[in-house]
A and B are shown apart, each in its own frame.
Chain A
């Protein structure tokens, strides 16, 4: 199937891309940037607020104070970040107290002032005064404390045991069970994470190697190497060799990224928390890889065709945006199907050309996709690849030797219709 000439082109591409210093650099750099950016986020989040906070809680409800104190003592036992002052006051006195503390609120000596009115016992509405009422950290901490105090107060004297009250305070928790044709299993997020990882890597690979192919094509055209190449190989052999070279490079890169992950998953299977265990069949793995390759090759062909239209990089960048949309739209749909992988948009886009490449794996990570939909998706992707290749090949063949004036869209369409090239 592969002629010696394609292998010659492929070997040069691999030497240029896979065995280049830049490949090693990028392969390490991208996860590095990833880890660093996540690390920075975590750092910002965790060190977001280590300042001491003075919180004042006024309660109009007689008898709530001791519950609040108890709740504070148990919740903030090891947390010395907060100094909480709880006072019981009559409602009429609140304004006076508020006005006297207002300067301290304004100069941040007091971070928040919470007023629990009498009716909070029935509707759980409390007032929160602060210079920064959106501070979620204090919100989250104190809504729980106040809620527990109100619940304890509410059931006090109703002849309920401490256990009953504790039970009443608990939230409902789901045990997620995934129902499929032949089993009902506890649903983990492992498969979902893996499918999104594949989609994300596909997205990254298309963008990176797509631009790389585009730049290489523009460079070959600009340098006029292409004329010499075409005196030895056909334009189809050239484009196939180039695309295979880039696809293999991307696949190798993805394997390098995934192998440690696969190794960890398989060697420490029982040490992982159950929700992270991945129940992905060998077929599904195979599908992900095949889908990755089909998607990559389809898009790389398009990038090469767009590159061949232009003879300098600036023009090529401007001509690339429709293609970028064709990569980004499926990616964002794939990410958003998370909420409901069975809504009509998710189902239809998982079976139409281009979007299917990313939306179908996303759905597969979440649910058991009906077999017919899966087969339609796979067929659509194959047909897209088979149809798109002669078209991109044609554009490439004509574009690559055209110099001078930048062709417009209409001209490119006439290239596609040309019979004798």
Chain B
């Protein structure tokens, strides 16, 4: 199935943030949408410029609970900045005409739970939830 067809059948509103949002703001967005595990960062032109995962954010804000730190994590703990400084700026996105079966494994290797779909200008069209893919696979088996 093509990404555009999936989005029509399973419309999901992506949760987005500005690159200058603070980490507590990002946490608030996650807590407002408990099912969401990936937030997309949208720049001033409306293009996807980054991605922030739930585990990454929780690791940053709960660093004081971790008994061991690498040097990189130590610096992150004491210099907490805005979302722009912690997001993954190499976001792997799908095009609407791509088939899910062809690109799915690339996304899984990135350890993300949602797959963003963008147009030619990199504007976010929607999100494919891996949970929805899983639900459909189980339903088909049954």
Do A and B interact?
no
> Chain A: residues with CB nearer than 8 A to chain B?
none
> Chain B: residues with CB nearer than 8 A to chain A?
none
